[in-house]
A and B are shown apart, each in its own frame.
Chain A
Amino acid sequence: MILRTVLVVDDEWAIAEVLEDILSDEGFRVVVANNGRQGLERALAEKPDLILLDFMMPVLDGPGMLAALAEDERVSGTRVILMSSLPEATVRERCSGYAAFLRKPFLIDDVLATIQNIVTS
C-alpha cells in the first residue's frame, strides 16, 4: 500500500496543524478538517489514502463520520486511525470499522509507527 494523501480530522486546531506540519515533513500530502462533517466533505473531495480521525468533535463526531464513510462506497475502503483520550474499550463500544487506535496524548513516533503498520499490512 502506498500512502500519498492523509486527511487529519481534529477540532483541536493545534494538534491538526502540528500533525499537518510533521506529516508534510514526512512527505505526505496532508488535508485538514476541524469536524466530522467537514472531514466527510474533504474525504469525498480528496479521496485520501488514510484518515486520522478524532473521536470527540462538534457538528459530527468521529463515530458519526466513521458510519457515514462506511455507507458511502466512494470512500468506504479508506483506512481510518481513530484518536481519543478515552480508552479503546470505551471507544469500541461506540463505533467500529477503524484500522487502528491511538490513545491521546500520543507521541509523533507512535503516529508514524501506526501509519507504517497500516502500510505494511
Chain B
Amino acid sequence: MNETTMQRTPTTIPGLDRLLGGGVFRGGIYIVQGAPGSGKTILANQLCFGHAAAGGRALYVTLLAESHSRMIGHLENLAFFDRAAIPDRVTYLSAFRTLEDDGLKGLVDMLRREIRSKRISLLVLDGLVSAEETATSPRELKKFIHELQTQAGLTDCTMFLLTSAYMGQRMVSAEHTMVDGLVELQSSTYGRQSERELQIHKFRGGAMIRGLHSYVICDNGIEVYPRTEALYAKPSRAETADGPTVSIGIPVLDGMMGGGPSVHSTTLLLGPAGIGKSTVGLQFLGHTDEPGLYFSFNESPQSVLVKAKGLKLPVAQRIKDGQVRVHWQPVTEAVVDAVCDRLLRTVEQNGIRRLFIDGVDGFAKLSTDTTRIGPLLTALSNELRARSVTTLSTAEMDLAGIVPGQPLAGMAVRDMSPVADNIIVMRYVGAHSHLHRLVAALKVREGRTSMEFRRFRLEPGGLHIEADAAVAERLLRGLEERPEEAQALQSAPHIPDHLGRGE
C-alpha cells in the first residue's frame, strides 16, 4: 500500500481515528474481533451511521440467523443512531440463506451486486465465523477473503468483518494474514473492576499507536481513549519558550521562588492533609484575569466554593462569574485516560491558562496499572506546557513531622523532575503542644529558590507567610535541641479524612 496514494476514511469512532492516524484506508478490509458482549455490533453500527452522516452509504450484512429489528431496537437509544438513515443510507440485509444455499461464492456474488447497485462505500459483514464454517477448506476461506479484498479495492468500498473468534485460539490464521487491519476488543479484570480494552494488532499502510487502549460503551456508543502517554509521547505542538515569571498569588511565596514560577511551568505542592495546599491553589487561580480551571480529585465544586468564601478569597467571585471552572473527578471508578482527555479538552475548549490539580495522585488511584503513572503524568505535564498552561498540582504526603537535621526526610520526591519544574514543600513542626506550618521552595527552575523554610498561618485572605525565616529557624533549632519531641512527632499516626485522603 502506498500512503501517498491511498485515501483515508474516518471511522467516526471517538478516539479510534487518533490511534489510526486519521482513519482506515478506503477500499481496505479490516477484521474486528472480540468476545460476545465486547461491543462489536455497536462499533460496527456506529461505523455505518457515522459513515452515512458523512455522506457515504453503508451496508450491514448479517450471516447469523438473528433479527435485524431486534438489533436496531438495541441501538435506538444510542446517540449515533438515526432512523431516517435507514434504508437509503444504512441498509441491513441478511445473507444467512444465501450462505446456506449458495455457499461462499453465492455470498461474494450477492455482496458484489449489492455494493454496485446501492453504491455502497462501507460494508459490515457480521458473523465471519459462519463463512469460516461454510468453507470446505482453509484454502476456500482464503479465496473468499481474497475476493472480498479485491472487490473492496475495485469498488472503493471499505469492509469490516466481525468475528467473535478469540484471538488467543488462533493467532495466525488465513484471514488475519490477508486483511489490511485487525482490531481486537477485549475485557480485563483488575481486582473486582473490569476495563474494556481495544488493541490494533495490524494496520497496513500507516502508523498506529500500539498497545492496549481503554474504551467505554456509553450513550454515545463506543468511545476509545488512547493511552495518554502514547498519544502524547511527544507534545502535540511546539512548546513556547519560557516567558517571564507569573505570580502564584502569594507575594512572599513568589519571592521565595525567585519571583514566582515561570509561565507555562508545572509546580508540585507537597504536604500533609489540612496544611493549606488547596488554599494555595485557590489563591493561584484567584489573583489573575486568566481563565482558570480547578480540577479536583478531592472536593466537590460546592465544597470548593464554600472554602473560597470562608477564606474570603477573590477566587469565589471568579468561580461564580465562570472565569474559573471547577471540575470534580471523584476517586471512585473511572478510566484514567478518559479523565486526562476530559482535562485536556476542558483546557482547550475554554482557553485555560491556569490549572490547579488538587490531588494529582488521583490519577494513580484511578489507574488499573500504576506502572503507567510516571509516563502518564510526564506526558500530561509536557502537553499542558505545550498548550501554554501554567499548572499547580498538589500531592499528599504523610503527616510525619520534621526530623532534626533532615527536615525533608521521608518525602518521596524521586522521579518528579519530569513532572514538576518547581517543587514546594509544606510541613508541620511541633513545639510546646502546638503545631506550626512551614513552607519552602524546594526546587525552582534556574535555582531561583531561597532554600529556606518560612512559617505561615492560614487566615482570612489565605496564606500569611512570614517575611523572613527567623521563626522557622528558631522552631527547627528547638527541635534539634529536643530530639525526643521530634521523634514523637515523626512517629505520629497518619490522620486521614473520612475517605482516607485530602484535606
Contact = CB atoms under 8 A, between A and B. Distances in A.
- A and B form one complex: yes
B113 interface: yes
A108 B154 contact: yes
B143 to A, nearest CB: 8
A120 to B, nearest CB: 22
B153 A21 contact: no
A22 B147 contact: no
B153 A105 contact: yes
A18 to B, nearest CB: 5
Interface in A30-77: none
A18 B156 contact: no
B116 A25 contact: yes
Contacts of A109: 156
Given A105-B27, A108-B155, A22 B150 contact: no
B112 interface: yes
Chain B binding site: helix, strand, loop or mixed by DSSP? Answer: helix
Contact of A14 (B27, B147, B155): B147
Given A21-B112, A25-B113, A15 B155 contact: no
B146 interface: yes
B154 A18 contact: yes
Interface in B128-184: 143, 146-147, 149-151, 153-156
A105 B150 CA distance: 9
A18 B147 contact: yes
A106 B154 contact: yes
B109 interface: yes
A15 B116 contact: no
Chain A binding site: helix, strand, loop or mixed by DSSP? Answer: helix
A18 B112 contact: yes
A108 B113 CA distance: 13
A18 B116 contact: no
Interface in A16-34: 17-19, 21-22, 25
Contacts of B112: 18, 21-22, 25
A22 B116 contact: yes
Nearest to A26: B116
A23 B116 CA distance: 12
Contacts of B108: 21
A39 B153 CA distance: 24
Most buried by B among A14, A22, A106: A14
Given A14-B146, A17-B147, A105-B27, A22 B154 contact: yes
B116 A14 contact: no
Nearest to B1: A105
A18 B108 CA distance: 9
A109 B153 CA distance: 11
A107 B113 contact: no
A108 B153 CA distance: 9
A107 B156 contact: yes
A18 B154 CA distance: 9
A107 B150 contact: no
A116 to B, nearest CB: 16
Contact of B150 (A15, A25, A111): A15
A77 to B, nearest CB: 28
B153 to A, nearest CB: 5
Contacts of B150: 12, 14-15, 17-18
Contacts of B153: 105
Nearest to B5: A105
A9 to B, nearest CB: 16
Interface string B466-483: 000000000000000000
A7 to B, nearest CB: 18
B365 to A, nearest CB: 50
Nearest to A12: B150
A87 B187 CA distance: 47
Contacts of B156: 107, 109
A32 to B, nearest CB: 14
A111 B154 CA distance: 9
In the A-B complex, list the 3 residue pairs whose CB atoms are closest, starting with the nearest.
A14-B150, A108-B154, A14-B146
Given A21-B108, A107-B156, 6 more contacts: A14-B149, A18-B150, A21-B112, A22-B112, A22-B154, A105-B27
Interface of A: 12, 14-15, 17-19, 21-22, 25, 105-109, 111
18 contacts: A12-B150, A14-B143, A14-B149, A14-B150, A15-B150, A17-B150, A18-B112, A18-B147, A18-B151, A21-B108, A21-B109, A22-B154, A105-B153, A106-B154, A107-B156, A108-B154, A109-B156, A111-B154
